[in-house]
């Protein structure tokens, strides 16, 4: 991609015409993906893009991102290589690209409690903060002390109370790029933490399908799961192309092998339309569509 060839001067790895980064395993190629491994590489990349007048998107593990079939004619900064965890007793500084399951495993090894409910969410810390991910009554906001965010070339330290955390929302997406976060856990009994993590894993296996998906497709409507309405609309098992509404959990759209992003969206939009028609409920996508 000639327009983006200036990116070769970066210290970070850059891959041109990169395949989709969506965990739904569909979507077109991306003009260029930059993989910074530390904050200096990230600052350098953002600075160069700004000087070139080139916009960019952020993707980490892509477990909540659908990339359209036409792909992204531009730049993505992928934050999943921003690795590193520093532990000081029960306080951890975690770089944005570390995965939640890895962090939860470390917490278990050290007898630290607070991440049990979140231990199987397949995203990174940065993605988790952007989405305020939650499960089994715990949200990531509960354990965050502060987040370091790259805003206009400067790193700002934002306390959790100023992150505007709410259901599937924080101010991160509007503010900038998370570099890392300070997490405070509490001392716990290792056996009890292990037991609880196992119970949450089993509960997930029992209620959620194991195939390729982006987790919940839609946000809850008030206090009610979107899956409840999709199920009541009789849409479990419905298929468009390679995309299918799970029979196990109606809020999950599965890629049965060859789904396109258009299949996902056609099916999602149909479910939304039926739920609106039958219950006068307007479902909102939880999944980010790029």
Ligand X SMILES: Cc1cc2nc3c(=O)[nH]c(=O)nc-3n(C[C@H](O)[C@H](O)[C@H](O)COP(=O)(O)OP(=O)(O)OC[C@H]3O[C@@H](n4cnc5c(N)ncnc54)[C@H](O)[C@@H]3O)c2cc1C
Q: Which positions lie near ligand X, rule CB under 6 A? A: 23, 58-65, 79, 96, 121-124, 126-128, 130-131, 133-135, 172-173, 177-178, 213-215, 288
Residues with Cβ within 8 Å of residue 224, at least 6 apart in sequence: none
Residue 90 or residue 225: which is nearer to ligand X going by CB? 225
Question: Out of 41, 81, 98, 286, which one is annotated catalytic?
Answer: 286
Report the nearest approach of ligand X to the CB of residue 276 (Å). 24
Question: Out of 110, 138, 168, 190, which one is annotated catalytic?
Answer: 168
Residue 229 or residue 252: which is nearer to ligand X going by CB? 252
Report the nearest approach of ligand X to the CB of residue 205 (Å). 11
184 has catalytic annotation: no
Report the nearest approach of ligand X to the CB of residue 192 (Å). 21
216 has catalytic annotation: yes
Residue 113 or residue 251: which is nearer to ligand X going by CB? 251
Residue 96 or residue 261: which is nearer to ligand X going by CB? 96
Report the nearest approach of ligand X to the CB of residue 114 (Å). 16
Report the nearest approach of ligand X to the CB of residue 59 (Å). 4
286 has catalytic annotation: yes
Question: Out of 116, 216, 246, 274, which one is annotated catalytic?
Answer: 216
Residue 99 or residue 113: which is nearer to ligand X going by CB? 99
What is the set of active-site residues?
168, 216, 286
């Amino acid at each position: 991609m000639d327009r983006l060839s200036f990116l070769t001067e970066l210290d970070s790895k850059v891959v041109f015409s990169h395949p989709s980064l969506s965990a739904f395993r569909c979507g077109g190629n991306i003009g260029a993906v930059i993989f910074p491994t530390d904050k200096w590489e990230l600052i350098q990349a953002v600075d160069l893009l700004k000087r070139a007048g080139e916009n960019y998107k952020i993707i980490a593990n892509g477990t909540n991102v659908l990339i359209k079939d036409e792909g992204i004619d531009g730049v993505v900064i992928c934050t999943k290589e921003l690795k590193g965890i520093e532990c000081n007793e029960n306080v951890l500084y975690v770089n944005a690209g570390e995965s939640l399951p890895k962090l939860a495993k470390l917490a278990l090894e050290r007898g630290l409690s607070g991440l049990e409910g979140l231990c199987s969410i397949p995203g990174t810390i940065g993605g988790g903060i952007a989405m305020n991910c939650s499960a089994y009554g715990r949200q990531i906001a509960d354990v965050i002390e502060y987040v370091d965010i790259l805003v206009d070339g400067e790193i700002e330290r934002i306390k959790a109370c100023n992150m505007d955390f709410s259901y599937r929302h924080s101010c991160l997406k509007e503010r900038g790029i998370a570099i890392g976060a300070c997490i405070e856990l509490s001392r716990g009994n290792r056996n009890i933490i292990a037991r609880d993590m196992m119970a949450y894993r089993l509960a997930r296996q029992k209620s959620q399908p194991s195939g390729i998906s982006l987790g919940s497709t839609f946000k809850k409507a008030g206090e009610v799961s979107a899956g409840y309405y999709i199920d009541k609309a009789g849409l479990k098992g419905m298929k468009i192309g390679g995309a299918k509404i799970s029979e196990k959990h109606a809020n999950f759209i599965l890629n049965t092998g060859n789904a396109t992003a258009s299949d996902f969206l056609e099916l999602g939009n149909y479910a939304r339309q039926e739920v609106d028609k039958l219950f006068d409920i307007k479902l909102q996508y939880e999944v980010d569509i790029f």
